[in-house]
Structure 1
């Protein structure tokens, strides 16, 4: 039977597909990610890069002074800590992870170089103002430490918050720990709680697999909608940034009666079609995932004026697929959520 292990990996808000910058990284001034602005584990789940059926990656926990794990195979569960919020997130599990030799790592490095993947990684480091020169110094024999097949990944897509003092995490060192139990995750059914915390600056949303910063316009619209809805329906029936129970949060929720809710998703792009495309997928997930129907109405909000084609599209979604999706315009000049639901 394959041994079950747990490993902590460095923080990334780009779903461990590419570096995400210093936000959330270690504040220890001697830590590699603090010094250079990235961690090699930030490509751990960049599974677009496949060699002979395997994805190769660097996992700090499997690198030891005497290379004692080389040649072994483990099932490895992964978690990470956002050092800005101090919250732990459970990422998922990789099965039948093989710890590769130094020679196989060197060959992997050469393959990455030949396929221009190293150049791509360097550009990703530049994009977040991290240290490209440090990346170029890497020893090819330690470029990768593990390999696994995509079919062996058990990654939900959205990292889930761990309960404080979860017994599945026996320490926060970057080593390979025995898995003693399954984690206790903060997941479950949507629970409505009224209230709003006004955002003053751009803020990063609940982890959604990528870095998503909500701009000042978004925060301003959210606050104004909250005030408008509470004046009409009462403060006990309106809430913002409400957790879905699955690692995501809803911009605004209106409680219309005991078990009926309206979900609002705010978009600020200057294309209504783009706002609908992005908002629709999010609202469907918030209400229906994995097998629910929490909201009786889904409303996309943006400053854009409705047009004929987008109106036809929303009518089609409601008529053909019975999706309760609507659009309301937020008038930025008057700070009013217009009454018309398209």
Structure 2
């Protein structure tokens, strides 16, 4: 019906009605530049203009609406007083955006653009603003109904209307929630990412799509036929509930798409970061910005990081200075690598890796039970500081609380600290350093070695270049002067000995996994390992060395070890030799014991095979 009416005919009729101020109110109206005009009046006026009047009773408003909408004229519902979405305007949206081509010289196309902007897009923005009042943060609220056409120089209608929001402390603007209207004219809300952003890789997009579907955080709809059942209050409430329900989903997806990887310095500790160690400090330095906390007060809070007092329900709670400087919107660190500087050699050592670290910025973020544990341990901490002659005044006044937590299964502490190249870390402040490409390569190598340990054989004598002191399994491991004397003499002896002619000798340069081997001799594809101990009894040397040397021999199963030699300054008794022989018979390993004499002047006589 009304196939004879063209766009121009309808425009002329509308303009005539506006001139005549014939804009009587009807339940459904044509939207023209913000004015509302009866659809039936437009049809009747056309036939009046062409001198062929039509009986108003010969058609109904639905027929008029359909004819005009198909010509490109929006139809709206005037009965709602709350400026809420209506089925009529959403149906108009669906029909009009399907027209695709937009001609700025055509008044009908321009009116469509104005309609999209001032109704559906404007109401979508209002939807977002009402959510913003509840604490969500608008990321984008442009009312850009048009977009570039495939044809150069042309434009077309966007096939949707939308606004994006994120949690008020959302980490970036690439992951967000949306509200909007889809190409079918239905309202929708969901979690989404900025698909057009060039920094987001295809693998990230695929992962997001998978995670969103698993969490049921994808499209949720309100059909246009059902909007009459809703109000702003009910729609906003429903949307807010969806967003709130998926706050954890938002965080989980964010940290999987953009993993937070950090490297942080912790103060050196000889006690496995369980209690403070004694160190030099100066009260006069307190308050100086160029002096670290442990230099001012004699301790660092990281020194209790692995103290079992703060192990609660399989989670360790502690404090790391770098975590305190994390951005306030960062609540999680996927991978946190810890390094420290040896106080004597000033060398950098990688200590360990923590995964899935929860970050606390405020004491209110921490469970009351945990805070109570820290506060109740204040006296113990003060006594531990007194034992190492550190400052205690500060500890008496501070509010004790952790700033991080991690599950015990998510902590990997390297058996031996890993020596880092001098150039690996150039800034040594206690800051949350982002893992850059160079550091990423370094930590990937470390992780790979832990998962699949391999020997890294390097010839030469590195005695003294890897000096550190550390508690290992309750016994203190001191790479001290005696140890250095033995390894230096051993390297010289093996290098000069005819028995080891053709062997490559590596002293304190070879690693298996991240474990530094005291000495290794290599001939073709066979190895001899030496482990040096400085105890004053043979049994003590064997006891201290055995675990390490067996571990070295078994970590890299691709290697063949000809001999595993323990060296110590004590000469074995008959009892020691009997015990050692029984040990070899039981373990079926090529173990040997060499004694070392510091009094012998001749190199060849310093070492004796028993």
Which residue number corresponds to residue 15 of structure 2?
Answer: none
User: Which of residues 266, 271, 275 in structure 2 aligns to 1:10?
Assistant: 266
Q: How do 1:28-177 residues align onto structure 2 when only pairs under 5 Å count?
A: 29-47=290-308, 49-63=310-324, 68-69=329-330, 72-82=331-341, 84-87=345-348, 89=350, 91-99=352-360, 101-103=362-364, 104=366, 108-114=370-376, 117-140=377-400, 143-161=401-419, 174-176=430-432
Change in 2 beyond 3 A, CA 1:65/1:162: closer
Contact between 2:526 and 2:559, CA under 8 Å: does it hold in 1?
no
Q: Distance in 2 between matches of 1:110 and 1:90?
A: 29
Q: Distance in 1 between matches of 2:308 and 2:478?
A: 25
Query: 3-state SS of the aligned residue for 1:311?
Result: helix
Per-residue displacement from partner, 1:189-247 (whole Å, max 9, x unpaired)? Answer: 33443333565xx9724989797432222222222223332221359633321221433
> Structure 1 residue 276: deviation in Å?
0.7
Query: 3-state SS of the aligned residue for 1:94?
Result: strand
Query: 3-state SS of the aligned residue for 2:535?
Result: coil
Contact between 2:276 and 2:385, CA under 8 Å: does it hold in 1?
yes
Contact between 2:455 and 2:556, CA under 8 Å: does it hold in 1?
no
Which residue number corresponds to residue 276 of structure 2?
Answer: 19
> Structure 1 residue 323: deviation in Å?
1.7
User: Which of residues 463, 467, 474 in structure 2 aligns to 1:204?
Assistant: 467
Change in 2 beyond 3 A, CA 1:105/1:42: farther
Contact between 2:594 and 2:609, CA under 8 Å: does it hold in 1?
yes
Aligned-residue CA RMSD in angstroms? 3.8
Contact between 2:350 and 2:420, CA under 8 Å: does it hold in 1?
yes
**284-293 or 37-46, which moves further after superposition?**
284-293
Contact between 1:75 and 1:96, CA under 8 Å: does it hold in 2?
yes
Per-residue displacement from partner, 1:271-290 (whole Å, max 9, x unpaired)? Answer: 32221111111112233225
Report the structure, 1 or 2, having the larger helix content.
2
**87-96 or 154-163, which moves further after superposition?**
154-163
Q: Distance in 2 between matches of 1:223 and 1:178?
A: 39
Change in 2 beyond 3 A, CA 1:221/1:270: same
Per-residue displacement from partner, 1:302-326 (whole Å, max 9, x unpaired)? Answer: 1222134433333233223222221
Change in 2 beyond 3 A, CA 1:322/1:99: same
Which residue number corresponds to residue 318 of structure 1?
Answer: 584
Q: Distance in 2 between matches of 1:65 and 1:251?
A: 39
Change in 2 beyond 3 A, CA 1:62/1:223: closer
Per-residue displacement from partner, 1:106-137 (whole Å, max 9, x unpaired)? Answer: 753542454xx444444444454432333333
User: Which of residues 439, 442, 459 in structure 2 aligns to 1:184?
Assistant: 442
- Gaps spanning 5+ residues in structure 2: where? 1-251, 281-287
Q: Distance in 2 between matches of 1:170 and 1:204?
A: 20
TM-score of the superposition, structure 1-length normalised?
A: 0.77
1:249 aligns with 2:507: no
Which residue number corresponds to residue 340 of structure 1?
Answer: 609
Q: Distance in 1 between matches of 2:396 and 2:541?
A: 40
Q: Distance in 1 between matches of 2:532 and 2:606?
A: 11
Q: Distance in 1 between matches of 2:335 and 2:480?
A: 37
Contact between 1:54 and 1:148, CA under 8 Å: does it hold in 2?
yes
Per-residue displacement from partner, 1:36-68 (whole Å, max 9, x unpaired)? Answer: 232112222334632344321113333359965
1:305 aligns with 2:571: yes
Change in 2 beyond 3 A, CA 1:153/1:36: same
1:225 aligns with 2:490: yes
Q: Distance in 2 between matches of 1:301 and 1:100?
A: 51
Q: Distance in 1 between matches of 2:521 and 2:275?
A: 37
Q: Distance in 2 between matches of 1:73 and 1:153?
A: 15
> Structure 1 residue 101: deviation in Å?
4.3
Change in 2 beyond 3 A, CA 1:290/1:320: same
- Gaps spanning 5+ residues in structure 1: where? none
Contact between 1:76 and 1:97, CA under 8 Å: does it hold in 2?
no
Q: Distance in 2 between matches of 1:219 and 1:65?
A: 41
Contact between 2:463 and 2:508, CA under 8 Å: does it hold in 1?
no
User: Which of residues 458, 463, 469 in structure 2 aligns to 1:193?
Assistant: 458
Q: Distance in 2 between matches of 1:131 and 1:338?
A: 48
> Structure 1 residue 266: deviation in Å?
1.6
Contact between 2:457 and 2:511, CA under 8 Å: does it hold in 1?
no
Q: Distance in 2 between matches of 1:190 and 1:64?
A: 38
Change in 2 beyond 3 A, CA 1:320/1:129: same
